[in-house]
Amino acid sequence: MAELFNFEMTATDGKARTGVIHTPRGDIRTPAFMPVGTAATVKAMMPESVRATGADILLGNTYHLMLRPTAERIDRLGGLHKFMNWDRPILTDSGGFQVMSLAGLRKLTEKGVTFKSHIDGSKHELTPERSMEIQRLLGSDIVMCFDECPALPADRDRIAESMRLSMRWAERSREAFGDRPGHALFGIMQGGLERDLREESAEALKNIGFDGYAVGGLAVGEGQAAMFDCLDYAPDMLPQDKPRYLMGVGKPDDIVGAVARGIDMMDCVLPSRSGRTGQAFTRHGVVNIKNARHQDDPRPLDADCGCPACSKYSRAYLHHVFRANEMISGMLLTWHNLHYFQDIMAGMRESIAAGTFDAWQKDFHANREMGDIEPL
């Protein structure tokens, strides 16, 4: 699989890296932000529009898709790419994180997890082997190991126990994944905020051997400062020559701080979810479009943004359609947010390549502080 899937690092600046992940379905420019297409759609967006924002890869959620429409059905229909009309790379999570979030509805054993569907209460099982099978049926390009992770804060024993279970599951995931040319399997480092547990997890994963490595178990309640503390050392424990993926992150400044610490890939529902609830991220801060102060404002959301929402509509219009519960509100704000997130990634890629990432970061933070910032 190394021939068909490989990571080419083209430049570094400090700990930050830029490059390209080559896959049979197309290149992924790194640092990469992956919009989330939970149920075979990036909510409120046509796939052509997601691509137009600059996205090279989407994330799909195993948990949601296995319940509805089911992995077997997607397989019969030709796979997730064809099903959702996205022919570029797709990364799927393992379902583990979302199943673990079903407190009270799930039971954890060495073998895996049994749980009840949030849709109809039906009983299901996820194991490393079943997660690999589902992700294969979906046709995922980047498959994630099945893992387990506690919300933070959690006590050290719980974190250690969970991490070691995840490492045994990583080995079973690797075994079950097999050899699939053109498809990659990523391991997931756990260990919470405990440096020695992160080290132990990294060693276990490297011994197994993966095509890429995720930093898991962050963005689960610990706050940005604690997350950055962990990212000050955790990425360095992973192989230099493989992609490093920080799962579930994040806000624009989380993303920039993560890239500065050596992360290559991220995903988050924030730009799409916020778009539907009327929050726009801009280079000048956050705009809550529902606020009455926008109702007569002829200015765009962000005069420096080239997305359709900013180039063709006023804040007054965006306010109006949000207040009127019109679908175009979520469509335009999601488009803007995804466009802005991809603009950040492009800016980081260019400045890392040029060796000017420090200056780029200073501008990024200065613009936000000068702006018309509304609290999230």
Q: Would you name the residues annotated as active-site residues?
A: 93, 267
Nearest to 270 by CA among 262, 260, 280, 284: 280
Which span sits near a copy of itself by CB under 8 A: 44-52, 154-162, 219-227, 283-291? 44-52
- Would you give the DSSP letter of residue 36? B
Among residues 21, 36, 40, 55, the one that binds a copy of itself under rule CB under 8 A: 40
Residues 6 or more apart in contact with residue 55 via CB below 8 angstroms: 33, 34, 35, 88, 338, 342
**Closest distance between a copy of itself and the C-beta of residue 116, in Å?**
18
Strand 142-144 vs strand 90-92: parallel, antiparallel, or unpaired?
parallel
**Closest distance between a copy of itself and the C-beta of residue 44, in Å?**
5
107 binds a copy of itself (CB under 8 A): no
The answer to whether residues 128 and 165 touch, using CB atoms and an 8 Å cutoff, is no
Among residues 18, 23, 41, 94, the one that binds a copy of itself under rule CB under 8 A: 41
Among residues 5, 33, 63, 83, the one that binds a copy of itself under rule CB under 8 A: 83
- Residues 272-301, interacting with a copy of itself (CB under 8 A): 295-296, 298
**Closest distance between a copy of itself and the C-beta of residue 77, in Å?**
5
9 binds a copy of itself (CB under 8 A): no
Strand 244-246 vs strand 212-215: parallel, antiparallel, or unpaired?
parallel
- What distance in Å separates the CA atoms of residue 64 and residue 61, rounded to the nearest whole number? 6
317 binds a copy of itself (CB under 8 A): yes
Which span sits near a copy of itself by CB under 8 A: 53-61, 243-251, 317-325, 338-346? 317-325
Return phi, psi of residue 107, to 5°. Answer: -130, 130
39 binds a copy of itself (CB under 8 A): yes
Q: How far is CA 343 from CA 43, 54, 78, 259, 356, in A?
A: 20, 8, 33, 14, 16
Among residues 76, 156, 158, 168, the one that binds a copy of itself under rule CB under 8 A: 76
Tokens 């613009």 correspond to 367
- The amino acid sitting at 267 is D
Rg (CA), the chain: 20
328 binds a copy of itself (CB under 8 A): yes
Residues within the interface to a copy of itself (CB under 8 A):
39-41, 43-46, 68-69, 73, 76-78, 83-85, 295-296, 298, 308, 312-314, 316-317, 319-321, 323-324, 326-328, 330-331
